Structure 1
Amino acid sequence: MKAYSKLTREELQTLVHELKKEYSRYQSMEMSLDMSRGKPCKEQLDLSMGLMDSLNSDADMCCEDGTDCRNYGVLGGIDEAKVLLSDMMENNPANIIIYGNSSLNVMYDSISRSMTHGVMGNTPWCRLDKVKWLCPVPGYDRHFGITEYFGIEMINVPMTPTGPDMDIVERLVREDESIKGIWCVPKYSNPQGYSYNDETVRRFARLRPAAKDFRIYWDNAYGIHHLYDKNQDYLIEILAECKRAGNPDLVYKFASTSKITFPGSGIAALATSSNNLDDIRNQMKHQTIGYDKVNQLRHVRFFGDIHGMVEHMRKHAEIIRPKFEIVEEIFSKNLGGLGIGGWTKPNGGYFISFETMEGCAKAVVDKCKKAGVKLTGAGATYPYGKDPKDSNIRVAPTYPPIDDLKTAAQLFTLCVKLVSAEKLLAERTGEAPEKAEAQA
Structure 2
Amino acid sequence: MSAILAPAPEVLAAEARAAYATLQKAGLKLDMTRGKPSAEQLDLAEGMLALPGNRDHFAEDGQDVRNYGGLQGLPEARRLFGAMLGVPADQVVVAENSSLAIMHDCIVLALLKGVAGGAAPWSQGDAAFICPVPGYDRHFALCEGFGIRMIPVPMRDDGPDMDAVEAAAADPAVKGMWCVPTYSNPTGATYSEAVARRLASMRTGAADFRLFWDNAYAVHHLTDSQPAPLDILSMCAAAGHAERAFIFASTSKITLAGAGLAFFGGSPANVRWYLEQAGRRTVGPDKLNQLRHTRFLRDLDGLKRHMAGHRRLLAPKFDATIAALEQRLGGLGVARWLRPEGGYFITVEMLEGSARRVVELARGLGIALTPAGATWPQGRDPNDNILRLAPSFPTLADVRAAAEGIALCMLLAALEARGAA
**Which residue does 1:281 correspond to in 2?**
275
Supply the distance in 2 between the matched residues of 1:6 and 1:27 (Cα, whole angstroms).
Answer: 24
- TM-aligned CA distance change 1:7 to 1:227, over 3 Å: closer
**Which residue does 2:78 correspond to in 1?**
82
What is the CA deviation profile of residues 38-86 of structure 1, one whole-angstrom value per residue up to 9, with x for unaligned ones? 0111111100001101223x23111121111111111111111111111
Query: Residues 137 and 377 of structure 2 are in contact (CA less than 8 Å); yes or no, is this contact kept in structure 1?
Result: yes
**Which residue does 2:88 correspond to in 1?**
92
Query: Residues 5 and 415 of structure 2 are in contact (CA less than 8 Å); yes or no, is this contact kept in structure 1?
Result: no
**Which residue does 1:253 correspond to in 2?**
247
Supply the distance in 2 between the matched residues of 1:424 and 1:355 (Cα, whole angstroms).
Answer: 16
**Which residue does 2:137 correspond to in 1?**
141
**In the TM superposition, what is the alpha-carbon distance from 1:4 to its structure 2 partner?**
5.4
Structure with larger Rg:
1
Q: 1:69 aligns with which of 65, 70, 83?
A: 65
**Which secondary structure state, in structure 1, belongs to the residue aligned with residue 279 of structure 2?**
helix
The amino acid across from 1:252 in the alignment is: F
Question: Residue 340 in 1 paired to residue 337 in 2?
Answer: no
**Which residue does 2:56 correspond to in 1?**
60
**Which secondary structure state, in structure 1, belongs to the residue aligned with residue 418 of structure 2?**
helix
Q: 1:203 aligns with which of 198, 221, 235?
A: 198
**Which residue does 1:39 correspond to in 2?**
36
Normalising to structure 1: TM-score of the pair?
0.93
Question: Residue 21 in 1 paired to residue 21 in 2?
Answer: no
**Which residue does 2:232 correspond to in 1?**
238
Q: 1:412 aligns with which of 406, 410, 420?
A: 406
**Which secondary structure state, in structure 1, belongs to the residue aligned with residue 264 of structure 2?**
strand
Query: Residues 5 and 334 of structure 2 are in contact (CA less than 8 Å); yes or no, is this contact kept in structure 1?
Result: no
Supply the distance in 2 between the matched residues of 1:226 and 1:341 (Cα, whole angstroms).
Answer: 25
Normalising to structure 2: TM-score of the pair?
0.97
Residue pairs, 1:25-424, within 5 angstroms: 25-56=22-53, 58-120=54-116, 121-128=118-125, 130-174=126-170, 176-228=171-223, 230-424=224-418
The amino acid across from 1:23 in the alignment is: Y
Aligned residues: 419
**Which secondary structure state, in structure 1, belongs to the residue aligned with residue 221 of structure 2?**
coil
Query: Residues 85 and 229 of structure 2 are in contact (CA less than 8 Å); yes or no, is this contact kept in structure 1?
Result: no
**In the TM superposition, what is the alpha-carbon distance from 1:325 to its structure 2 partner?**
1.0
Query: Residues 197 and 235 of structure 1 are in contact (CA less than 8 Å); yes or no, is this contact kept in structure 2?
Result: no
Query: Residues 224 and 313 of structure 1 are in contact (CA less than 8 Å); yes or no, is this contact kept in structure 2?
Result: yes
Query: Residues 35 and 393 of structure 2 are in contact (CA less than 8 Å); yes or no, is this contact kept in structure 1?
Result: yes
Greater alpha carbon shift after TM alignment, 191-200 vs 276-285: 276-285
The amino acid across from 2:338 in the alignment is: T
What is the CA deviation profile of residues 161-212 of structure 1, one whole-angstrom value per residue up to 9, with x for unaligned ones? 01000111112212x1000000000000111100001110110110221112
What is the CA deviation profile of residues 342-368 of structure 1, one whole-angstrom value per residue up to 9, with x for unaligned ones? 011111111110011111000001100
Supply the distance in 2 between the matched residues of 1:168 and 1:126 (Cα, whole angstroms).
Answer: 25
Supply the distance in 2 between the matched residues of 1:168 and 1:21 (Cα, whole angstroms).
Answer: 45
Query: Residues 32 and 370 of structure 2 are in contact (CA less than 8 Å); yes or no, is this contact kept in structure 1?
Result: yes
Q: Which runs of 5+ in 1 are unaligned?
A: 427-436
**In the TM superposition, what is the alpha-carbon distance from 1:14 to its structure 2 partner?**
3.8
What is the CA deviation profile of residues 89-126 of structure 1, one whole-angstrom value per residue up to 9, with x for unaligned ones? 11101111111000011000000101111112421122
The amino acid across from 1:188 in the alignment is: Y
Supply the distance in 1 between the matched residues of 2:322 and 2:27 (Cα, whole angstroms).
Answer: 25
Give 4+ residue runs of structure 1 displaced > 4 Å after superposition: none
The amino acid across from 1:270 in the alignment is: F
**In the TM superposition, what is the alpha-carbon distance from 1:25 to its structure 2 partner?**
1.1
Pairwise CA RMSD = 1.4
The amino acid across from 2:384 in the alignment is: D
**In the TM superposition, what is the alpha-carbon distance from 1:423 to its structure 2 partner?**
1.2
**In the TM superposition, what is the alpha-carbon distance from 1:6 to its structure 2 partner?**
5.3
Identity rate, percent = 43
Query: Residues 95 and 277 of structure 1 are in contact (CA less than 8 Å); yes or no, is this contact kept in structure 2?
Result: yes
Query: Residues 129 and 151 of structure 2 are in contact (CA less than 8 Å); yes or no, is this contact kept in structure 1?
Result: yes
**In the TM superposition, what is the alpha-carbon distance from 1:397 to its structure 2 partner?**
1.1
Supply the distance in 1 between the matched residues of 2:132 and 2:324 (Cα, whole angstroms).
Answer: 29
Query: Residues 35 and 391 of structure 2 are in contact (CA less than 8 Å); yes or no, is this contact kept in structure 1?
Result: yes
Query: Residues 375 and 395 of structure 1 are in contact (CA less than 8 Å); yes or no, is this contact kept in structure 2?
Result: yes
What is the CA deviation profile of residues 223-258 of structure 1, one whole-angstrom value per residue up to 9, with x for unaligned ones? 011112x22234431111112222111000111111
**Which secondary structure state, in structure 2, belongs to the residue aligned with residue 286 of structure 1?**
coil
Supply the distance in 1 between the matched residues of 2:260 and 2:5 (Cα, whole angstroms).
Answer: 52
Supply the distance in 2 between the matched residues of 1:390 and 1:105 (Cα, whole angstroms).
Answer: 30
What is the CA deviation profile of residues 365-399 of structure 1, one whole-angstrom value per residue up to 9, with x for unaligned ones? 11001110101110000000000110000011111
**In the TM superposition, what is the alpha-carbon distance from 1:425 to its structure 2 partner?**
1.3
